Amino acid sequence: MRKIIVHESVLTAVFAMTVLLMLQFPIRSQTWIYPLVRYVAQVKMNFVARSMAVYETEHFIIKYEKQDADVILLVAQAAEKAYQPVVRELGYTPHGKTMIFIYPDKQQLNQAFGWSGDQSAMGVYWGGAIQILSPKAWLSEVNAEEFIRSGPMVHEFTHLVFDYMTSGNYSRWFTEGLAQYVEYKVNGYEWKTDSNSLNRDLYTMEELDKNFDKLSNQALAYRESLMAIRYIGEVYGEAKLGEVINNLRKGQSLSSAIREALNMDYADFETSWQNWAKINVEHEK
């Protein structure tokens, strides 16, 4: 039998070519090509992680380094506990099992995701898979209740389900806002710091749309994204939020999806959710 060896550089080149192909097509056509890009990304991630140990649950395939064998059951429990609430909230069940990669430290997570050394996160969704930092790297005491409540599983799995629903047709702020919203509803968790108080000048929708990841106050950008989604869900109702999402699934732009569902233009949406958040949300305990 012939042994076929595929080098990582070849997979990287295939992925890059697939992305370039996607960029040659208009937005509506990209929704047909995007699943291919995602699939190639998964193949590459699996190849890079081929030496990792594997643990499988009903809905997840978890890959990890041997030094994290003592937390694999904790991660598996958190993942399965997140599954049904997220699927129920979004009304969509992804096909097959979801891949989760556990990295023992920030350096290895950053390296796997292609980040610079100054980036920091507990989890990342990208390319149809979830990559998380080992609970041992950020919890002073590994505690199941705390990991389930404030850990990354609900947040990142929401990203994954929404990505499969829309074939990647969304803005960064919207998917981050939605992931936080589901996390807020399921676990009661909200990221609040002194730096993301709403009693200040807020970023505009244009800034959130064009430069979300590059904005200097990331805590504020994230909180604004949550507030915009909460505004839709709490003022207009969950059904209207579902309409916005369904419009994205049809290939509409975000501004068009919001305009059609809420009957307001993007500028009015910005003014409305910001005023609502400052009046109704800022002083919540």
SS3 61: strand
Q: Do 159 and 257 belong to one domain?
A: no
pTM: 0.87
Q: Is the pLDDT of residue 18 over 70?
A: no
**Cβ-count burial 87-119 (b if 16+ within 10 Å, e if not):** bebbeeebeeebbbbbbbebebbbebbeeeeee
Asked if 220 and 185 sit in the same domain, the reply is yes
| pLDDT tens string 80-107 | 999 999 999 999 999 999 999 999 988 8
d(CA 245, CA 185): 17
- If asked whether residues 11 and 80 sit together in one domain, one would say no
Pair (255, 185) in one structural domain: yes
Contact 52, 63 (CB under 8 A): yes
The answer to whether 80 touches 59, Cβ cutoff 8 Å, is yes
Q: Residue range 4-33: average pLDDT?
A: 49
Alpha-carbon distance of 228 to 181, in angstroms, equals 10
Identify the domain boundary among 131, 165, 199. 165
Domain that holds residue 35: 1-41
177 lies in the same domain as 151: no
Same domain as 266, residue 178: yes
Q: What is the pLDDT of residues 156-198, one digit of tens each?
A: 999 999 999 999 999 999 999 999 999 999 999 999 999 999 9
pLDDT grade for 2, boundaries at 50, 70 and 90: very low
pLDDT exceeds cutoff 70 at 20: no
Residue reference for tokens 């070519």: 17
272 plus 175 within the same structural domain: yes
| CA gyration radius, the chain | 19
Residue 285 covered by a domain:
no
Whether the Cβ atoms of residue 98 and residue 61 lie closer than 8 Å to each other: yes
Pairwise CA distance, residues 123 & 98, whole Å: 14
Could you give the number of structural domains in the chain? 3
pLDDT digits (tens, 9 = 90+) for 128-140: 999 999 999 988 7
Q: Are residues 126 and 231 in the same domain?
A: no
Per-residue pLDDT tens over the stretch 217-264:
999 999 999 999 999 999 999 999 999 999 999 999 999 999 999 999
* Mean pLDDT lowest among 29-33, 34-38, 109-113, 131-135: 29-33
pLDDT value for 121: 75
- Claim to verify: residue 152 and residue 192 sit in the same structural domain: no
Residues 148 and 174 in one domain: no
Q: Are residues 202 and 134 in the same domain?
A: no
User: Using CB atoms within 10 A of its CB, is residue 47 exposed (0-12), middle (13-18) or buried (19+)?
Assistant: middle
Same domain, yes or no: 161 and 55: yes
Q: Residue 71: which CATH number?
A: 3.40.30.160
